[in-house]
Chains A and B, each alone.
Chain A
Amino acid sequence: MACSCSCGSDAASKLLYACAGAANTGYLADQVARKLNRDGAGDMTCLAAVGADLSGFIESAKSADINIVIDGCPVACGKKIFEAKGLPFTHFITTDFGVEKKKTEITQEIIDRVSADICGRI
């Protein structure tokens, strides 16, 4: 997580949120968000804090140019949190990338492939 201080900058702010659920798919969502954060595609921040209504996280989400929510599976907890708060977002689900919940072993190759795919769409 890194602060994209906008002081004196007009750079687009892209915030990344991962469901980080217990299943392999939640792990993948977390790892993809962390890789995108490391690669500079966006700034990872905390989905749980948005769910908890913490004002700094809510206002940051309102001000971001794009909120990228990465869910692990179609239960879509991240999507539901953003919808409940009325916040705008772009949504991805890792199972849409050929990963099966509770079955696919998450390898670095999968993390890299899903990250590259999402990076190309944001």
Chain B
Amino acid sequence: MLIQILGTGCPKCKQLEANAREAAAKMGVAAEIAKVTDIDEIMNMGVMMTPALVIDGEVRSVGKVLTVDQIAAQLKGVN
């Protein structure tokens, strides 16, 4: 599974990344977590506000810092 964190590197993006790592560990999911900081790449995904969370190419949230539990619920839906 590929989890991408979209954002230019601000505290909200870092918090979302930390939450995603914790959620993946909590769910026992083997996930590669990658950051996407290039604004053109972010916009090519249609994301107009950051941070954003992408799971296996599907944008799951935009402009929000999802909690660990919210991300875990998203991961559960994928598995």
Which residue from chain B places its CB closest to the CB of A52 in the assembled complex? B46
Query: Do A60 and B50 touch across chains, with their CB atoms under 8 A apart?
Result: no
Known interface pairs A3-B43, A59-B62, A63-B63; A43-B10 also in contact (CB < 8 Å): no
- Which residues 1-20 of A have a CB within 8 angstroms of B? 1, 3-8, 13, 15
Query: Do B7 and A3 touch across chains, with their CB atoms under 8 A apart?
Result: no
Query: Do A3 and B49 touch across chains, with their CB atoms under 8 A apart?
Result: yes
Partner of B51, one of A7, A13, A64: A7
Interface size counted on chain A using CB atoms at 8 A: 23
Question: Please, what's the 1-or-0 string for A27-40, where 1 marks a CB less than 8 Å from any CB in chain B?
Answer: 00000000000000
Query: Do A55 and B59 touch across chains, with their CB atoms under 8 A apart?
Result: yes
Q: Report the minimal beta-carbon distance from B32 to chain A, rounded to whole angstroms.
A: 19
B residues in contact with A57, CB < 8 Å: 46
B residues in contact with A5, CB < 8 Å: 7-8, 10, 39, 49-50
Which residue from chain A places its CB closest to the CB of B10 in the assembled complex? A7
Which residue from chain A places its CB closest to the CB of B57 in the assembled complex? A55
Q: Report the minimal beta-carbon distance from B2 to chain A, rounded to whole angstroms.
A: 14
A residues in contact with B26, CB < 8 Å: none
Query: Do A62 and B62 touch across chains, with their CB atoms under 8 A apart?
Result: yes
A residues in contact with B10, CB < 8 Å: 5, 7-8
- Which residues 41-87 of A have a CB within 8 angstroms of B? 43, 45-46, 49, 54-60, 62-64
Known interface pairs A3-B39, A3-B43; A60-B11 also in contact (CB < 8 Å): no
In the complex, whether B76 has a CB less than 8 A from a CB of chain A is no
Query: Do A3 and B47 touch across chains, with their CB atoms under 8 A apart?
Result: yes
Query: Do A63 and B13 touch across chains, with their CB atoms under 8 A apart?
Result: no
Question: Please, what's the 1-or-0 string for B32-64, where 1 marks a CB less than 8 Å from any CB in chain A?
Answer: 000000010011011111111010001111111
Complex CA gap A5/B43 in Å reads: 10
In the complex, whether B12 has a CB less than 8 A from a CB of chain A is yes
User: What 3 A-B pairs come out closest when comparing CB atoms?
Assistant: A56-B46, A7-B10, A57-B46
